[in-house]
Amino acid sequence: MERNDDIWVAVVTGSGERAFCAGADLKHRARERDADVNQKARWEKLVGETKSLIERWHFPKPIIARVNGFALGGGLEQALACDIIVAADHAEFGLPEPRRGLIAGSAGVHRLPRQIGLKTAMGFMLTGRHMTALRAYELGLVNQVVPLGELDAAVDEWVSDIVRCAPLAVRATKEATMKGLDYPLAQAYYTVHDGERKRRLSDDALEGPRAFAEKRAPNWKGR
């Protein structure tokens, strides 16, 4: 996806209506020490696939989480790694790992405080409590909450709005925002990242003002 210039935005979701992702298979975890080589290989493959999203700290393209149910443990950690979260109104979020003798070690303990504040995050992380979709929206964790039957339409609207924008501008915006969080404000302001350099030299940087002057929709090329 990262290398395919025809893909401008991605949507991550679960199948069915019950769960976006309910986290690790704890029954498998309980048998892990006694598992054979093939079982361990399958488990390691699953962990690797999960980390491919969670550990992409500066993935350039926007990712939307379509949360269609429970987003617990590793499921919430995957949603936290996305840029926009759209949730069905019956969805629930949480990091219940301490209730099972575990820790939300796939960046959950780091991302949640950054996204909803330290004290609020600690309240959920130290108790394993769940939060409803509405509460997650109130805390700023979720961008939109809709009935399940309207979830696809809501996600499609977000996708449509993103692809109306110049893709290089979207990527440069995401890069400057995410990397800038690691800097003092003045340093973030004066730092020009690779994505912004590429955008400035692109055809799309000329197409936007030209289309505005000609009173037409821009024809973005992504270059």
Query: Which structure tokens are listed for 21?
Result: 């992702």
Catalytic residue (choose from 97, 138, 150, 175): 97
- 129: tokens are 């409590």
Tokens at residue 187, please?
A: 């340093």
Contact 79, 67 (CB under 8 A): yes
Residue 2 annotated in active site: no
**Tokens read off for 68:** 């269609």
Q: From the candidates 32, 44, 49, 77, which is the catalytic residue?
A: 77
**Known catalytic membership, residue 157:** no
Residue in the block written with tokens 């590793």: 74
Burial of 128 (0-12, 13-18, 19+ CB in 10 A): middle
Residue type, 83: D
**Residue 22 vs residues 28, 73, 76, 77, 184: alpha-carbon distances, Å:** 14, 6, 8, 10, 36
Give the C-alpha separation, 139 to 79, whole Å.
Answer: 15
Q: Which residues are catalytic?
A: 77, 97
